[in-house]
């Protein structure tokens, strides 16, 4: 559940019928190997969770660049303290919008879908302020001023698709859109980006009067000067991690169920209940504590000794199982007092491909070369040998699990392996037909005209792959890729770096600074800023999270079509195109197995990586 992978990351009444289909399929359950023991429910106690050292939360301002936009910073940190305008998922297997957990009522689309009305519920911030229309205007204005600095931004998205917006009452904001959009897409992928900010943050210096920064009333008339000044202040404060848990800190003003009581950058921090939380469920336990460990092996040791309330079991410590069953037949932690839960993710796994690398980029821009790489990637074999059967192939830019209406025909080809299942002979044949041959064991271009534009005769297929340190499964996976690619003469050099360091490498690069070839962080969960798995965050030209610089006019057109149509066929056209384009190097999607202490109840695994620990409680 508490993933350290980037898995880089939105319906009103009109959308309900269409989105309801998303709930079907492969859900998560508290049943599994063993079950929680019964007992008397108690208030209080500390839930202890884990982080990988160096991969803990390092950003608190809910307006992050791609360098900080991760599951660790958002789902496991920011969302516990600050609720987005619309929350998604629940303490269970839902991947739908969660109106009860949201500070706003369901959005209303009128005027043929071009007018949007949002009404706040009147929740309270922890300092007594009301979560109201002013807070929503604050975010909208800040986004107008600094949208290019926000990882959720995609060209043509918010704020580009907003013509105007105004506060019509203390609780209501009316937004005029530039055209009619799919109500599913706009709520799931646009409104989900919005995070109302308190007036306590609308300042430009510590100790200033709330709202004195003036961003919530700013406009284009001064080129958003007030908002820019507030943004610079809040960004600097977010970089000042020592301030996060200090009494009186602006970050102590929250509207979620939790607030920080202690924090350090290594990954150790503790949350306590927010006594002013207005949502449907106040925390039952006394504290939520994250503890940093050096590796997943160290986390497993902590589980065996009973030091963690909930934690992931490394695949290597689980009995191998058939791909058709979710849990192993035996529970390795039964004697330590835990039961097991499968933990699926509504996401895809891949390595970024750097199309902007001046040396490797011309090779990657050749579609035949990407198809050859796909044929050389043994996703099923990796799932069986490294992940012990706990996974399935990624075949497109759309999740194949949990099963949903978004799964397209090309995604299910070859038993779910997609259009290009593992086949070294086919890969070698493709490469040979395009002018490549092994020279001294290294794949070398023999004909510039055959190899493709920008590829010189004598160019060699030698690539580096950056991956996350401290996660043995990733190291093993990259080792298999190195071996399999080597069969075709492609040399792969693995290079492990910390998760936070790799996040810094995800900013799209150009020219001589583009030294990486493949960047393997884990992939992307569609859990913010997009919850409908459309392609604008990852594959639209110029998107901030399009870290490899992929650009294709047909892809852009297909993505844009999903924004205006609720048609499943239109969506499938996009899904099939990503399956055949290979804009990323697809890698097997794994799912976790979580161990939960028998005395801890109410724990459910959510495929959006959302956690709702306010529902969890201990028994005696």
- Is the bond leading into 529 cis (omega within 30 degrees of zero)? yes
Q: Are strands 310-312 and 287-293 parallel, antiparallel or unpaired?
A: unpaired
For residue 370 the two structure tokens come to 């990407």
Angle between helices 424-433 and 367-375 (to 10 degrees): 160
Query: Structure pTM?
Result: 0.80
Query: Which ranges in 331-441 belong to alpha helices (H)?
Result: 361-364, 367-375, 379-385, 413-416, 424-433
pLDDT for the residue 314: 84
| Number of Cβ within a 10 Å radius of residue 222 | 11
Of the ranges 16-20, 52-56, 394-398, 565-569, which one carries the lowest mean pLDDT score? 16-20
Report pLDDT for 414.
96
Q: Is 44 exposed, middle or buried (0-12, 13-18, 19+ CB in 10 A)?
A: exposed
The pLDDT tens digits for 357-415 are: 999 999 999 999 999 999 999 999 999 999 889 999 999 999 998 778 899 999 999 99
Q: Taking Cα atoms as reference points, which of 87, 111, 63, 76 lies closest to residue 188?
A: 87
Distance CA 405, CA 233 (A): 43
- The top-scoring range by mean pLDDT among 92-101, 190-199, 468-477 is 190-199
pLDDT tens for 587-603 read 999 898 999 999 999 99
What confidence category does residue 36 fall into, taking pLDDT thresholds of 50, 70 and 90? low
| Domains of the chain (ranges, CATH numbers) | 13-253+592-613 (3.90.76.10), 347-590 (3.10.105.10)
Q: Is the pLDDT of residue 45 over 90?
A: yes
**Summary mean pLDDT of the chain:** 91
Query: Is the pLDDT at 16 greater than 80, yes or no?
Result: no
Q: Which residue has the tokens 């791909």?
A: 323
Strand intervals (E) in 354-490? 391-392, 436-439, 442-445, 462-468
State the average pLDDT over residues 142-166.
94
Q: What is the pLDDT of residue 477?
A: 95
Closest CA to 220 of 134, 162, 153, 154: 162
Q: How far apart are CA 236 and CA 7, in angstroms?
A: 26
CA dist., res. 609 & res. 95, Å (int): 10
Share of the chain above pLDDT 70, in %: 94
Report whether pLDDT(507) > 80: yes
Q: What is the pLDDT of residues 202-214, one digit of tens each?
A: 999 999 999 999 9
If pLDDT is split at 50, 70 and 90, which confidence band does 6 have? very low
Instruction: With cut-offs at 50, 70 and 90, classify the pLDDT of residue 39.
Output: confident
Looking at per-residue confidence, does 444 or 326 come out higher?
A: 444
pLDDT for res 66: 84
SS3 11: coil
The answer to whether 410 and 396 are in contact (CB under 8 A) is yes
Average pLDDT over residues 92-108: 94
Determine the pLDDT at residue 35: 58
Residues 509-537 have a mean pLDDT of 88
Most confident of 7-21, 147-161, 169-183: 169-183
15 pLDDT higher than 50: no
Spatial separation of the C-alpha atoms in residues 212 and 606, rounded to whole Å: 40
For residue 601, CA distances in Å to 42, 46, 274 come to: 11, 13, 21
pLDDT at 283: 98
H or E element, residue 567: none
At 358 the pLDDT is: 95
pLDDT at residue 55 tops 90: no
Residues 524 and 538 sit within 8 Å (Cβ to Cβ): yes
Rg of the chain's alpha carbons, rounded to an integer? 24
pLDDT at 12: 22
pLDDT at 5 over 60: no
Average pLDDT score over residue span 19-45: 54
pLDDT digits (tens, 9 = 90+) for 218-244: 999 999 999 999 999 999 999 999 999
Asked whether the predicted pLDDT for residue 537 surpasses 70, the reply is: yes
More confident position, 385 or 614: 614
Q: Is 21 helix (H, G, I), strand (E, B) or coil?
A: helix
Check if the beta carbon of residue 348 is closer than 8 Å to that of residue 396: yes
pLDDT at 37: 64
How far apart CA 49 and CA 63 sit, in angstroms, is 25
Per the rule left: phi > 0, alpha: psi between -120 and 50, beta: everything else, 263 is beta
Give the mean pLDDT of 288-301.
95
pLDDT, position 9: 30
Given a contact cutoff of 8 angstroms between Cβ atoms, the answer to whether 365 and 355 are in contact is yes
Distance CA(167)–CA(118), nearest Å, equals 10
Which whole number is the average pLDDT over 136-148? 98
**Is the pLDDT score of 70 beyond 90?**
no
Say if residue 110's pLDDT is above 50.
yes
Q: What is the pLDDT of residue 161?
A: 96
């Amino acid at each position: 559940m508490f993933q350290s992978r980037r898995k880089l990351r939105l319906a009103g009444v009109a959308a309900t019928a269409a989105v309801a289909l998303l709930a079907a399929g492969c859900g998560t359950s508290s049943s599994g190997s063993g079950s929680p023991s019964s007992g008397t429910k108690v208030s209080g106690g500390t839930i202890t969770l884990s982080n990988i050292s160096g991969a803990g939360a390092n950003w608190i301002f809910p307006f992050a660049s791609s360098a900080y936009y991760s599951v660790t910073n958002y789902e496991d940190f920011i969302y516990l303290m600050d609720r987005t305008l619309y929350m998604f998922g629940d303490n269970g297997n839902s991947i739908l919008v969660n109106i009860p957990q949201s500070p706003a009522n369901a959005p209303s689309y009128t005027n043929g879908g071009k007018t949007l009305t949002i009404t706040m519920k009147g929740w309270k911030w922890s300092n007594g302020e009301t979560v109201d229309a002013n807070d929503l205007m604050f975010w909208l204005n800040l986004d107008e001023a600094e949208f290019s600095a926000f990882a959720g931004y995609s060209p043509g998205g918010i704020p580009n698709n907003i013509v105007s917006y105004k506060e019509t009452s203390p609780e209501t904001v009316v937004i005029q859109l530039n055209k009619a959009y799919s109500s599913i897409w706009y709520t799931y992928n646009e409104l989900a980006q919005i995070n109302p900010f308190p007036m306590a943050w609308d300042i430009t210096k510590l100790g200033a009067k709330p709202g004195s920064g003036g961003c919530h009333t700013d406009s284009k008339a001064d080129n958003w000067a007030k908002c820019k000044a507030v943004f610079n202040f809040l960004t600097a404060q977010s970089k000042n991690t020592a301030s996060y848990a200090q009494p009186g800190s602006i970050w102590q003003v929250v509207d979620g169920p939790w607030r920080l009581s202690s924090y350090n950058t290594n990954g150790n921090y503790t949350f306590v209940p927010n006594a002013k939380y207005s949502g449907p469920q106040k925390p039952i336990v006394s504290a939520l504590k994250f503890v940093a460990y050096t590796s997943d092996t160290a986390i497993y040791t902590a589980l065996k000794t009973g030091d963690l309330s909930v934690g992931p079991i490394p695949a290597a410590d689980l009995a191998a199982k058939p791909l058709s069953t979710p849990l192993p037949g035996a529970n390795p932690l039964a004697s330590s007092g835990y039961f097991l839960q499968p933990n699926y993710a509504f996401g895809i796994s891949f390595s970024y491909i750097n199309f902007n690398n001046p040396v490797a980029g011309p090779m990657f821009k050749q579609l035949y070369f990407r198809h050859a790489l796909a044929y050389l990637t043994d996703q099923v074999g990796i799932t069986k040998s490294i992940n012990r059967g706990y996974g399935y192939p990624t075949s497109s830019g759309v999740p194949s699990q949990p099963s949903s209406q978004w799964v397209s025909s090309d995604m299910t080809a070859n038993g779910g392996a997609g259009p290009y299942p593992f086949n070294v002979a086919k890969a070698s044949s493709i490469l040979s037909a395009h002018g490549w041959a092994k020279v001294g064991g290294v794949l070398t271009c023999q004909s510039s005209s055959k190899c493709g534009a920008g590829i010189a005769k004598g160019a060699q297929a030698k690539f580096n792959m950056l991956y996350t340190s401290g996660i043995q499964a990733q190291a093993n996976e990259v080792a298999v890729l190195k071996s399999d690619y080597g069969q075709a003469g492609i040399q792969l050099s693995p290079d492990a770096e910390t998760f936070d360091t790799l996040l810094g490498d995800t900013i799209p690069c150009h020219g001589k600074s583009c030294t990486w070839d493949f960047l393997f962080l884990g992939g992307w969960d569609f859990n913010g800023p997009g919850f409908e798995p459309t392609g604008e965050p990852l594959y639209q030209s110029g998107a901030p999270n399009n870290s490899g610089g992929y650009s294709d006019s047909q892809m852009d057109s297909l993505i844009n079509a999903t924004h205006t149509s609720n048609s499943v066929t239109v969506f499938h056209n996009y899904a099939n195109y990503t399956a055949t384009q290979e804009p990323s190097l697809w890698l097997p999607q794994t799912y976790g197995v979580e161990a939960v202490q028998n005395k801890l109840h109410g724990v459910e695994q959510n495929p959006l990586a959302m956690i709702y620990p306010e529902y969890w409680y201990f028994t005696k």
